[in-house]
Structure formats: C-alpha cells, structure tokens
C-alpha cells in the first residue's frame, strides 16, 4: 500500500484526539489533515465549502469523528445524519471512490436478548433519536457505497471510555461527581439506574480500529462492531472508577437514565468480524481504562 493522505474531522474531541494521535504515529499515513471546526463545521457549513476543502486536501481516506450525544431530535439529525450526507456528497465530488470512515453507535441495535453477543447482521431497532439518527447515517453510507460513490466504513462503537470522557457519558459524569464528593462539595454521588449491562471499550482501542479501517488495502469493510466483547453492569463500572479514585462513600441510584439507552438492559459486541476483516482486537482492560478516566480528571497523568 502506498502511504495515505488522511483527512479527519473532529480531531479535537474525546475519540477524535486519540484517533489523531494513532493516525499520526502510523507509518502508512503520509499526510494527516485535521481542519478545526472554525475552518469548517459539518453541521452548519455548506457542501460547496466542504467539497472545496476536500479537493484541496486530496485525501485517500476521510474520517469523521464528529457527532452529538444529546439535544433535540433536530440537533441529533443534523449532527449525526445530515453531516454524513454532506460528507458523502462532498467526497463523491472532490475525491470519488475515497474511503469514508464514520463512527456509528451500538445504540443503532436497540434492545438485545440478555446474554447474547450482537453481530453486525442483527436487526436494528433503536429506541431513541440518537440511535435512529446514527442508523440512518449508516444506511445512507451503505447506499452510497453500493453505488460506488465512496468506500464507506461504519465502525459501530459501543461504550468508549478513557481520559477526557465527557460528562454526557456515564463514567465521565460519575468521575466529576466523585471528585466533587471527595472535595467535600457533596456527601454522596447521585446517578441514574446502574443495573444495565454495557460493553465498555477503551478509546485507544477505538482509535486503533479506526487506523485499521483507514489503512486496510481491501475495499468493502462495511459495518464493523468496535467493542471489548465483554459486558459488565454500569454499577460495576462506577464501582471500579470509585476504587481508582479512592472514594468509599455512598453511590445513590435514582431517577432515569439517558433517553438514548432507556429500554436497553443488555448489550455486548460480537467482535469476530472486526478481527476477521480489520485484523483488530482490543488490547486494553477495563481496569486500565477507568484508571485513565480518573487520572485525567484528577490531574495525576494519563
């Protein structure tokens, strides 16, 4: 494979920053361009401007690490679906046939039978706007790929964790609350229900999956799960985080969880396709990951 020119959107975000570091360190990448949102916003910018940017960059691979977890249905539609459509149109015009790698979500699956590992061919029935908008983006990218406009890859990322995790995510929010409790600002940590099982995957493993998808010589990767292949309760994940922080106080569960995952009590990735197609397997343990979440917040290192 000749060395690649890669264009990445969202390179300053939680996942995007790890992806940027991993791509920059890979000898197969000759040039890495990371336009900031101030240069082009995938939500508000025009297709014409995006096309011009892509034409100027001349990429072999375009990676989209942008997206939105919360907001109105319109917010989610614009950030997760419409942004993908704009990218497809712009890549088709400026770099026809180039690989387009986007980060999808396990929320595209919706409810899964307890104890099963969900594969990419499992029927998708998302329970909220978040998963629905990601699924729509996945389907549209599949159609564009089938038409030969781009070489589309959707990495269905399960629950990414690691340093810099935003408080819109469970462990990111829990870390902030634990820090506040340790500082005496609160006598306990209040969170929503923690009984659901989730597949937590280290953000560094997500980044290595993106590198594998971007540099794969064969075309047609399609949809690929990116998870740890293990499921633990959110309660266990928070308990491990509290242990890493040295917090032994009360953790109280009340209220309801985020709308994007209500009704999904179990999810675990079948990652066999990722290994078969991309040669990728996760290498970081959950114990490592939660320590990284806390160390980054606590300022003790990453």
CA distance to 66, 100, 221, 226, per residue, from 142 (Å):
19, 11, 10, 18
- Report the alpha-carbon distance of residue 242 to residue 249 in Å, rounded: 9
> Residue 181: what are its φ and ψ, rounded to 5°?
-65, -40
Residues designated as active site = 130
Exposed/middle/buried for 185, CB within 10 Å: 0-12, 13-18, 19+?
exposed
Q: What is the 3-state secondary structure (H, E, C) of the chain?
A: CCCEEEEEECCCCHHHHHHHHHHHCCCCEEEEECCCCCCCCCCCCCHHHHHHHHHHHCCCEEEECCCCCCCCHHHHHHHHHHHHHHHHHHHHHHCCCCEEEEEEEHHHCCCCCCCCCECCCCCCCCCCHHHHHHHHHHHHHHHHHHCCCCEEEEEEECEEECCCCCCCCHHHHHHHHHHHHHCCCCCEEEECCCCCEECEEEHHHHHHHHHHHHHCCCCCCEEEEECCCCCEEHHHHHHHHHHHHCCCCEEEECCCCCCCCCCCCCCCECCHHHHHHHCCCCCCCHHHHHHHHHHHHHCCCC
């Amino acid at each position: 494979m000749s060395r690649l020119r890669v264009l990445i959107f969202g390179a300053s975000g939680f996942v995007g920053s790890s992806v940027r570091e991993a791509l920059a360190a890979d000898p197969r990448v000759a040039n890495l361009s990371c336009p900031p949102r101030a240069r082009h916003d995938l939500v508000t910018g025009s297709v014409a401007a995006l096309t011009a940017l892509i034409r100027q960059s001349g990429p072999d691979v375009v990676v989209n690490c942008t997206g939105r977890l919360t907001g109105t249905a319109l917010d989610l539609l614009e950030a997760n679906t419409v942004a993908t459509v704009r990218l497809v149109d712009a890549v088709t015009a400026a770099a026809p046939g180039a690989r387009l790698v986007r980060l999808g979500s396990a929320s595209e699956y919706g409810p899964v039978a307890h104890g099963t590992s969900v594969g990419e061919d499992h029927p998708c029935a998302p329970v909220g706007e978040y998963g629905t908008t990601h699924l729509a983006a996945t389907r549209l990218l599949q159609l564009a790929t089938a038409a030969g406009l781009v070489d589309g890859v959707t990495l269905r990322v399960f629950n990414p964790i690691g340093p810099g995790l935003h408080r819109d995510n469970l462990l990111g929010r829990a870390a902030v609350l634990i820090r506040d409790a340790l500082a005496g600002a609160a006598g306990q940590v209040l969170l929503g229900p923690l009984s659901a099982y989730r597949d937590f995957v280290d953000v560094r493993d997500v980044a290595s999956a993106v590198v594998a998808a971007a540099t794969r010589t064969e075309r047609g990767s399609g949809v690929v799960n990116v998870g740890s292949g293990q499921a633990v309760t959110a309660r266990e994940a928070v308990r491990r985080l509290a242990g890493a922080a040295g917090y032994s106080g009360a953790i109280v569960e009340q209220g309801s969880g985020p709308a994007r995952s209500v009704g999904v009590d179990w999810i675990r990735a079948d990652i066999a396709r990722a290994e078969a197609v991309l040669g990728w397997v996760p290498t970081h343990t959950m114990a490592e990951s939660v320590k990284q979440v806390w160390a980054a917040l606590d300022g003790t290192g990453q």
